[in-house]
A = this chain, B = another copy of it.
Amino acid sequence: MDDNIAKIIFQPSGRRGEVPKDISIIEASRLLGADIEALCGEKKVCGKCKVRIEEGFFEKYGIDSKLSHVSGWQEEEEKFINTQDREAGYRLGCVAKVLGDLLVFVPEESRAGKQVVSKAARDILIEHNPAVKLFYVEVSKPTIEEPTGDFERICAALEKEHGLKDLKIDISTLRRLPTVLRQGGWKVTLSVWLDQEVIRVRPGKIEASYGLAVDIGTTTVAAYFCNLATMEVLDTVSMMNPQCKYGEDVMSRITYHMMNEGGLKKMSDDIVEALNTLIDQALSATYPPKKKVKKQKGEQGPDEWIEVPEEGKTYLRLTREDIEDITIGCNTAMHHILLQLDPEHVGMAPFPPVIHHSLDIKARDLGININPSSYVFVLPNEAGFVGADNVGVLIAEEPYNKDEIQLIIDIGTNGELVLGNKKKLISSSCATGPALEGAQLTYGMRAAPGAMERIRIDPETHDVDYKVIGRDAWRQFSEPKEMKAKGICGSGILDLLAELYKAGIVNKSGAFNKDGQKSNRFRKNPDNRQYEFVLAWAEETSIGKDIVVTQKDVRQIQLAKGALYAGCKLMVQRMGIEKVDKVKIAGAFGTHVDREKALIMGLFPDCDLEKIVSVGNAAGDGCRAALLNRDKRAEANWVSRNVEYIELTVEPNFQQEFMGAMHLPHMTDAFPHLKGLVPEEILNQK
C-alpha cells in the first residue's frame, strides 16, 4: 500500500476514492467531487467549509482511533467552531489536512450542491378517510347543578354530535384539556385517532391537520408532507439514510449490529434523528424564507437580517405539534433497526421477522418529535427482506384487484419483486446492491447537480451525448465547459449499459469489445493498465478529470441487473406462466427510467414495450395512502399475510439463472420485443 495515499469517503454524498496525503480536506473533496462550500476560496475566513470527521480510520466494521488521521487543531478554526462542536469532531475543511484514511461528514449547510429530490408524489387515487380526524364541539360551562368533569363534557358532545363512543384520551392531551377548554370559551377542536382516542385539543374551530408519509429506504429517506383534510401534498422532503455510514446494504447493517455492542441503538438513533430533521425541514418551508436585507432606519430587529415574506404568499407557519400522524414503510431490516428489534434472524435462513403485523406506536416512544399524543403507524412486513415498503407498493398498485398478471419491480439498494393478480400474489427480494443507485462505481454519484442522468452513444462514431442534473441543454448543444459534469447517477447508469451494448462497445458478456472500438474514448488507463471508456472529457467536468466507465463498473451493473432478472424469471416459473401482462418499475429512480433501455440491458424478461410502465415511488405512495385512508391499513395487514413469499437464494436453480442473466440482455432467453431497437448482429452475438 502506498504510504502517500489515503482513502477518503465523504458522507452523505458517498463520494469516495484515494487522494495524496497532506492536502486539505477541501482539496480532497474537490478531487473526489464532493463539493464542499468554500466562499472565501480557502482563505480560512468564511467558516463555510465546516466538516465533521466521523472516523479517522476505516475497514469495514473495524473502527480504530478517531481524529488521528487529520492534522492538528489550528487557531483560525476557533472563530467558527465552538468547543462542543470541536469535541464532536468538527473541523474547517480548508485547514484540516488529510494524514490518513478518513470518513468525513459534510453537513447540509456546508454542501455546495444539494441532492435532487426525485421522490416527488404521484397522483394516485386515494379515498379520503384519514386515521386522524378533527371534530369541533361546543360545550356548556360546569355549574353547581352540572359539575361534570372536562373530559366527560367533551365526550358527551362527541357522542351526541358525531356518534363517537367510549373515547379514550392520551395523558399528554388530557394535561392540556382544562386550559384549552377555557381558552377556547368551551369551544374546541379535537383530533381523534381512529375514532378511539383523543390525541389533540385546540381552542376554537380548526379545519386543518397534517401528517407525514415516510418511506425509509436503505439509502434514502423520503417523506410526503400532507394536509390530512385536503389530501394535498404540501412538500416532499428527502435525505440520505444516515445509517449508510454503517454499511451500504441491509446485510452489512445487520452485521454491524451483530458485531457492535449498542450498534442497533446507534443505527436506530440515527434514523430517528434523520426523521426529526426531515420533519423540521418540511415545517421550515411553511415559514417565509429569511432574506439578507439591510435594515432600514428605524426598523425593528436584532440584526441586519430581516424576515421578508414573499409577495402574495401565505405561510402556514406550522410547528411539530401540527403533525398529528405519521405512516412509515421500509424493508424488514430498516423496519427492525428503526424499532430496535433484533434484525439478526431476518438476515439468516429461514429469515423470520420479529413481527409481520403493522404497529401503532406513540411517536414519543420512538423519540419522534411531533404532536406528543400522536401515533406512528408502521406498515406490516411480508417476509424475508420484503417488508413494509413492498406492502406500500402493493396497496398503492393493488395488483390483487386486477385480472392481468403484473410484475412489480421495486428497485432500490434491495430489489423487491411482486408477481401475480387477484388470484394469487408471490413476492421475493434480491440483493441488487447500491450499484444501480450510483454507488460502487468509479464515477457513480447520487442524483445531484452535475450528475449525468441521461446518456446516448452514437453507434457509428461512439461519440457520447449526455445531460446533467441542473442543466437542461444536452452536451451536443453546449460549450464543453458549461457541462460541469461530476459523475453518473442511477438513471444514467441504466442508460449507460444499454448504450454501451447497443453501440457494440461491450459485448453480450459485458466485456469491452476490444476489436470494435471506433474512437479514442476507449483506452487503457496509463496508471492501472485497465481498459476504460471516457464518457466526459476533463474540460467538460467540474472535477478536472475525465469521467470514465471501467470494466469493473460494467461488472457491478451486470451483477445488479442479473440478480433482478434471475429473480423475475424464477418467479415467473414458480407461477407457472409463460409471460407477464405488465411490468411496473417502482423505486427511487423509477420515474427516470427509460423503459427501452431497461429492456435492452435485460433488467427483466422480455415484454411488450407498451406494457412497461414506471410507477415512481410506489412504496411512498402506499405510505401516503395509509396516511390518508385508514382502510388501507387493514388492507396492508391483509395483503402482507396473503402474498406468498419465495426465498430466491434457496431455489435450486438460482445460481444458474443468475449466471445467465448477467449477459446482455440474457445468455439464452429470447427478447422478441427488442427487434428494431438493437441491431440484429448485436442481438445475435454468441
Contacts and interface: CB of A to CB of B under 8 A. Distances in A.
B350 A151 contact: no
Contact of A150 (B142, B153, B339, B352): B352
Nearest to A647: B144
Contacts of A169: 355
A645 interface: yes
A147 B352 contact: yes
Contacts of A354: 149-151, 174, 177-178
A359 interface: yes
A148 interface: yes
Contacts of A402: none
Given A171-B361, A342-B178, A355 B650 contact: no
Interface in A117-161: 142-144, 146-153
A415 interface: no
Given A143-B350, A171-B365, A350-B142, A148 B356 contact: yes
A442 interface: no
Residue of A153, A168, A178 contacting most chain B CB atoms (<10 Å): A178
Contact of A341 (B148, B175, B341, B650): B175
Contact of A147 (B168, B339, B383): B383
Interface in A147-197: 147-153, 168-169, 171, 174-175, 177-179
A175 B340 contact: yes
A174 B381 contact: no
Contacts of A647: 144, 147
B341 A174 contact: yes
A10 to B, nearest CB: 34
A1 interface: no
A295 interface: no
Nearest to A152: B356
A149 to B, nearest CB: 4
Given A345-B178, A350-B142, A171 B356 contact: no
B150 A353 contact: yes
Nearest to A153: B352
A587 interface: no
A152 B341 contact: no
B149 A359 contact: no
A147 B355 contact: no
A178 B147 contact: no
A351 interface: yes
A58 B146 CA distance: 40
A35 to B, nearest CB: 40
A11 to B, nearest CB: 28
A645 B342 CA distance: 53
Interface in A341-399: 341-342, 344-345, 349-357, 359-361, 365-366, 381, 383-384
A357 B151 contact: yes
Residue among A143, A179, A353, A360 having the largest count of chain B Cβ atoms under 10 Å: A353
A142 to B, nearest CB: 4
Given A149-B381, A178-B341, A171 B351 contact: no
Given A175-B341, A341-B178, A365-B171, A355 B149 contact: yes
Contacts of A339: 171, 174-175
Contacts of A177: 354-355
A177 B151 CA distance: 36
Given A365-B171, A647-B144, A149 B179 contact: no
Interface string A323-342: 00000000000000001111
19 contacts: A143-B350, A144-B647, A148-B352, A149-B356, A150-B345, A150-B354, A151-B354, A151-B357, A152-B355, A169-B355, A171-B339, A171-B365, A175-B339, A175-B341, A175-B342, A177-B355, A178-B341, A178-B344, A178-B345
Given A147-B351, A149-B383, A178-B342, 20 more contacts: A142-B350, A144-B349, A147-B352, A147-B645, A149-B353, A149-B355, A149-B356, A150-B353, A150-B354, A151-B356, A151-B357, A152-B355, A168-B360, A171-B361, A171-B365, A174-B341, A174-B354, A175-B339, A177-B355, A178-B354
